[in-house]
Structure 1
Amino acid sequence: MKQILNRLFEHQYLNRDEAKEILTKMAAGEYNESQIAAFISVFLMRSINIEEFFGFRDALMNLCTDVTPLQKYDPVDIVGTGGDNKNTFNISTLSCFVVASAGYKVAKHGNYGATSVSGASNVMEKHGVKFTSDVSLLEKSLDQTNIAYLHAPLFNEAMKVVAPVRKALGVRTFFNMLGPVVNPIKPKRNILGVFNLKMSRLYYYIYQNTECDYTVVHSLDGYDEISLTDNFKVVSKLGENIYSPEDIGLERCKPIELDGGKTQDEASKIFDDVLNNEATIAQKNVVLANSAFAIQNINPFLSIEQCIQQAREALESGKTKETFVKFLNLNS
């Protein structure tokens, strides 16, 4: 590691094989936390290049638990890279349950929050969810509730090893970038929120080299999801478009209206308010917007207005709450 760090400090780059080897050794426990922190810090000071990204991804995919039997469900994953420093409530996680309650299969790959109060795993755990890597249990959840939750560290040793370092650093790292593309199910449908346009272009390039039906979203004021606080860009196989909130029939909102709170309890209450259809208009609308683009990814022949209506009906009718309760009964 000393040799690698010296190279990186001299502004050199890793090739794909080197990046793969380093992350593989990291997962095997060959580096201590100080070395891992130093390595991660390099990529806080300069951008990761495409060869390094693919190498890291190769390592994580080789190391991940085999859950390929779940591919037959053709689920969608809705995920943000995180690291936008906006501390929003659990928008993508709620969107997953809305989409599932609208009748679509969802495989949510998530983790504890590293840069926000509540990541997907935080809010799941707060509600009593017991994480599992048992394929039969995950399949049962998909069968009966349309959704399975995959807690990232259970499926990849590297994610588990670096978790304490990421939490201690408390800033965006390249693992934020990798998380969305290392779902062990390898879903063919992905809704990915990114925190800047440069990341949007990177993932666009990555997804072009796969068979995925992808939708990459970015709010132009820096959110890694459709925030409705500004115009937002959507990149998919259908092309690139910039929308305003008004274009899709939803009200523009203010950043403070999306705040996720200062504690796990506050974050959990917002989550419950949305499920119970007791949330503010802004909170509900932002979940509907992200859910709608996920539905359109699955049904590209539907207009975004039709997709919003499907999401709204699922949430306001109580179907989303019912789905979440069933999910808890199976996964707690």
Structure 2
Amino acid sequence: MKQILKRIFNHEKLSREEACSLMRNMVGGSINDAQTAALLAAFQMRGVTVDELIGFRDALLQTRVPVSLQEFQPIDIVGTGGDGKNTFNISTCACFVVAGAGYHVAKHGNYGATSVSGASNVMEQYGVRFTNETDKLKRSMEECGMTYLHAPLFNPALKTVAPVRKALGVRTLFNLLGPLVNPCLPSFQLLGVADLAQMRLYTNTLQRLGIRFAVVNNLDGYDEISLTDEFKVMTNRYETIYRPSELGFSIARQEELYGGSTPEEAARIFGNVLQNKATRAQTDCVLINASFAIQAMKPASSIEACVAEARESLESGKAFHSFRRFLELNR
């Protein structure tokens, strides 16, 4: 460990295999808390390379509770969190819009760390019971197009480092890993990031992993497309900056996307969006994120066509129907 720490302090890079071994030791409990804290702080200051990130991911996937959903070729829609904006549950709403449009979504989520209500918080507000039983997850996917994977049920090894992460109280490399360790290994991903450096890191990582993706960032610091400013999209095929008006959307104000001060308030906003009773800003924000998720799965389609698909899912009631059926199956 002393040698590893010295190398990191000297800005030396670890190989994928070395990073995998280090992470296995970290979550396996063979590295003490002081060393773990030092490692996390050092990586946070020095930054993480693509090889290191993939190696860390390898280790966590080796220790996961696996679930096989490959037959559905699902997409995961997720943000990295940590943008400090406390928006409503945009990514999770987008999941049901995409499911309502006829696609399969395997959402990997957790409780909110930097916002009032994370995906798991809003699910619990609606009485959802989390499970890692494959049969139940498959039935949900078959009957409503959506499955929810509550992260703690699938990544038990992370309990080992939880006290250190809590004591540090800052973002660490584990925040970077969250969007990469969906236990079902989805075929597609829409990933929202809070800054352009993360965007480049994830794009290079997802390219190496062979996942078809769209990585999105609002240029004013949101880890999703917020429509509050220009936004950037990077996929396997292109890299573009869009203005909301180019795609027929109005500029939103930050306060219009506020996620509420309690989980109950966040859940009300969530329900209003899926019932198509939300404000224009809330609705548009969900639609644009769902649209780029659809395009990640259908790269030959124009984004305008994908917006039309997403809008039809929401306005026809298909998205809300998917959500109601999801609740019936998961309570």
How would you bin the TM-score normalised by the shorter chain? over 0.9
Q: How many equivalent pairs are there?
A: 331
1:13-92 aligned within 5 A? 13-31=13-31, 33=33, 35-68=35-68, 70-92=69-91
Give 3-state SS (helix, strand or coil) of 2:76's partner. Answer: strand
SS of equivalent residue, structure 2 residue 209: coil
Q: Secondary structure at the match of 1:323?
A: helix
Indicate whether 1:171 and 2:173 are aligned.
Answer: no
Aligned counterparts of 1:199 and 1:310: Cα–Cα separation in 2: 29
Query: Gapped runs of 5+ residues in structure 1?
Result: none
Deviation, structure 1 residue 259: 1.8
Task: Measure, in 2, the Cα distance between the counterparts of 1:162 and 1:100.
Answer: 34
Distance in 2 separating the partners of 1:301 and 1:15: 36
Amino acid of the residue matched to residue 160 of structure 1? K
- How far is the alpha carbon of 1:52 from its aligned partner? 2.1
1:310 aligns with 2:284: no
CA RMSD of aligned residues (A): 2.0
What's the CA shift for 1:10? Answer: 5.5
Amino acid at match of 2:299: P
Aligned to 1:93: 92
Deviation at 1:106, TM superposition (A): 0.5
Secondary structure of the 1:324 match is helix
2: CA distance, partners of 1:271 / 1:164? 31
Give a deviation string over 1:2-44, Cα, whole Å, max 9, x none: 6655654555544433322232123223345555444323333
| Contact 2:107–2:147 (CA under 8 A) maintained in structure 1 | yes
Identify which range, 164-173 or 14-23, moves more after superposition: 164-173
1:209 corresponds in structure 2 to 208
- What does residue range 215-230 of structure 1 map to in structure 2 within 5 Å? 215-230=214-229
Q: CA deviation at 1:56?
A: 0.7
Mean Cα deviation higher: 39-48 or 272-281:
39-48
Q: Is 1:159 equivalent to 2:158 in the alignment?
A: yes
- AA at the equivalent of 2:56: F
Supply the AA of the counterpart residue of 1:146: G
Matches within 5 A, 1:176-325: 176-325=175-324
C-alpha separation in 1, matches of 2:287 and 2:191: 16
| Cα separation, 2, equivalents of 1:284 and 1:217 | 18
CA drift at 1:262: 2.3
SS in 2 for 1:230: coil
Alpha-carbon contact 2:8-2:43 (below 8 Å) kept: no
Where structure 2 has 5 or more consecutive residues not aligned to the other structure, the ranges are none
| 1:175 Cα deviation after fit | 1.6
CA gap 1:161/1:266 in 2 versus in 1, 3 angstroms: farther
Corresponding letter in the other structure for 1:133: N
CA distance in 1, matches of 2:221, 2:286: 17
Given the superposition, is the C-alpha separation of residues 324 and 34 from structure 1 closer, same or farther in structure 2, using an over 3 Å criterion?
farther
Return the TM-score normalized by structure 2: 0.92
Counterpart of 1:60, as a letter, is: L
Report the CA distance between 1:220 and its aligned residue: 0.9
